[in-house]
Amino acid sequence: MHIGARLQLDTSELHDLFYMLFLKDLGCSSNAARICQLYATNDHDFKRNSKTMDHSLGQILHFVATNTAVKSGLATKLKTILNIARNSGSITRDLIETRCERGAEIARTMRFPERVAQGILDLDEHWDGRGHPLGRKETDISLMARIALLAQVIDVFHITGGRQAAINEVHRRAGTWFDPQLVSVFEALARDLSFWAVLEGADIEAQVFALEPAAHRSFVDDDLLDDIADGFAQVVDAKSPFTSGHSKRVALYSDMIAEELGMEANRKRWLVRGALLHDIGKLGISNEILDKAGKLDEEEWQAMRNHPVLGQHILSRIDAFSGIATIAMNHHEKLNGKGYPNGIGADELDLETRIVTVADIFDALSADRPYRAAMPTSKALSIMREEVGTALDVDCFDALATAIGRLENAKETSDDVQAPMQAIG
């Protein structure tokens, strides 16, 4: 934002830059699973470490050797290294393409201006045309993206090596990765000691929010809140092939249950947002754990059980969504107190949470998974029936069974409803 201000961007450009910087990694979750598969490592560590290299051959080899398959045996490690060595270029291009396109699309879902989407799309393009995914060059690259690319490299080197390391790295990549004009703006900025003091200060969050161009603050109505919930549900669902479409389906089932129970329209709208965002805490869990084929070890299981807490933490920070933070926190609790993370029981579980819990389990059982075909809905319901009363709410379960039964009957008697049936899998 300081670079943007020194370039004398107008307030509308600064507004878009501010949000583009926050949202630049929106599409990141969508290649997290592939990073884990290809490099057999933890996606969080990988992303942190990969920003400190510039892809010269020596660095790639060093990077692969230290990052690949940290926990796996030598054979797996060698196989992964060979695969990366053979396909390095196309793998990098694929990863970046998925990430940028997905991210831009989600920003559009959330109704951010096109300039924000374009910035996300161009984030990995380099000044000399050797970036990805399109190999755009110089000023063909969105200005927002040029600033963001520079800023993220400054940040990573500053955090890991200090002020001078950041300055040196930026200087080294001027004209290859970075727009030389932006580099000189940064070099002037870097002589201002208060710039670094803010970056290293404890109240950086408050300082960052103070940079938001206030004149462009926009009013958020209910439709926009729905779109924002929908956008972040896409981010969550894109993280793992095991949960593709999960949040959207849980929202659909929750809506059906609430409809059956006669819930009032406005309350239902909140419920659907809660259902869309119930697993948002999974963004904080590595794919190495989320996608693990075998049994989780104790440490992994503990991390997994923490996703409701992370979800609650994220949602309660946003005023408009704080009301649904309880759903995120409690969706794995059971009526008999045998759920997680807190083991609370029936008297502390509200109707919204009970509905999402039933919808969540139904989807976990009935959805197609990479490792098995979809279970028939009747079988999923009969497995769930055994837990009704002890773990699951009887009214919510009955409402779901009725709604599903009605849809199945309709499917048998009419071809017209085939589309909605496909939609719910």
Active site residue 24: no
CB 118 within 8 A of CB 13: no
To the nearest whole angstrom, how small is the minimum distance from the Cβ of residue 332 to Fe ion? Answer: 6
Pull the structure tokens for residue 65. Answer: 């050797």
Give the integer Cα–Cα distance in Å for 9 and 138.
18
**Complex with Fe ion: residue 129 or 245, whichever CB lies closer:** 245
Q: Which of 282, 334, 379, 411 is catalytic?
A: 282
Region of 18-26, 46-54, 89-97, 359-367 interacting with Fe ion (CB under 5 A)? 359-367
For the beta carbon of residue 175, count every other beta carbon within 10 angstroms: 13
For residue 423, give Cα distances in angstroms to 234, 309, 417. Answer: 16, 30, 10
Region of 120-128, 141-149, 353-361, 380-388 interacting with Fe ion (CB under 5 A)? 353-361
Region of 231-239, 274-282, 291-299, 371-379 interacting with Fe ion (CB under 5 A)? 274-282
To the nearest whole angstrom, how small is the minimum distance from the Cβ of residue 224 to Fe ion? Answer: 24
Give the integer Cα–Cα distance in Å for 21 and 3.
12
CB 36 within 8 A of CB 42: yes
Instruction: Look up tokens 């990863």; give the residue.
Output: 95
Q: Where are the alpha helices (DSSP H) in 191-343?
A: 193-200, 204-210, 222-237, 246-260, 265-277, 287-290, 298-305, 307-316, 325-330
To the nearest whole angstrom, how small is the minimum distance from the Cβ of residue 32 to Fe ion? Answer: 17
**Complex with Fe ion: residue 337 or 341, whichever CB lies closer:** 341
**Complex with Fe ion: residue 122 or 360, whichever CB lies closer:** 360
Give the integer Cα–Cα distance in Å for 84 and 62.
13
**Complex with Fe ion: residue 95 or 381, whichever CB lies closer:** 381
Region of 271-279, 287-295, 339-347, 416-424 interacting with Fe ion (CB under 5 A)? 271-279
Burial annotation 285-303 (CB, 10 A radius, 16+ → b, else e): bbbbbbbeeeeeeeebeeb
Alpha-carbon dihedral angle through residues 334, 337, 340, 342, given to the nearest 10 degrees: 130
Region of 99-107, 181-189, 273-281, 316-324 interacting with Fe ion (CB under 5 A)? 273-281
Region of 40-48, 82-90, 227-235, 360-368 interacting with Fe ion (CB under 5 A)? 360-368
To the nearest whole angstrom, how small is the minimum distance from the Cβ of residue 304 to Fe ion? Answer: 9
CB 32 within 8 A of CB 240: yes
Which of 169, 352, 360, 393 lies at the binding interface for Fe ion (CB under 5 A)?
360
To the nearest whole angstrom, how small is the minimum distance from the Cβ of residue 359 to Fe ion? Answer: 9
Phi, psi (rounded to 5 degrees) for 19: -75, -35
CB 333 within 8 A of CB 310: no
Give the integer Cα–Cα distance in Å for 177 and 54.
9
Using CB under 5 A as the binding rule, whether residue 237 contacts Fe ion is answered as no
**Complex with Fe ion: residue 224 or 283, whichever CB lies closer:** 283
Give the integer Cα–Cα distance in Å for 21 and 143.
12
To the nearest whole angstrom, how small is the minimum distance from the Cβ of residue 279 to Fe ion? Answer: 4
The rounded radius of gyration (Å) of the Cα atoms in the chain is 24
**Complex with Fe ion: residue 43 or 360, whichever CB lies closer:** 360
To the nearest whole angstrom, how small is the minimum distance from the Cβ of residue 243 to Fe ion? Answer: 7
**Complex with Fe ion: residue 279 or 291, whichever CB lies closer:** 279
Using CB under 5 A as the binding rule, whether residue 260 contacts Fe ion is answered as no
**Complex with Fe ion: residue 39 or 362, whichever CB lies closer:** 362
Using CB under 5 A as the binding rule, whether residue 279 contacts Fe ion is answered as yes
Binding residues for Fe ion, how many (CB under 5 A)? Answer: 2
Alpha-carbon dihedral angle through residues 395, 399, 401, 404, given to the nearest 10 degrees: -170
CB 61 within 8 A of CB 156: no
Give the integer Cα–Cα distance in Å for 20 and 280.
20
To the nearest whole angstrom, how small is the minimum distance from the Cβ of residue 307 to Fe ion? Answer: 6
Alpha-carbon dihedral angle through residues 146, 149, 154, 157, given to the nearest 10 degrees: -150
**Complex with Fe ion: residue 360 or 393, whichever CB lies closer:** 360
CB 411 within 8 A of CB 353: no
To the nearest whole angstrom, how small is the minimum distance from the Cβ of residue 240 to Fe ion? Answer: 11
CB 129 within 8 A of CB 136: yes
What residues line the site for Fe ion (CB under 5 A)? 279, 360
Q: So which residues are the catalytic ones? A: 282
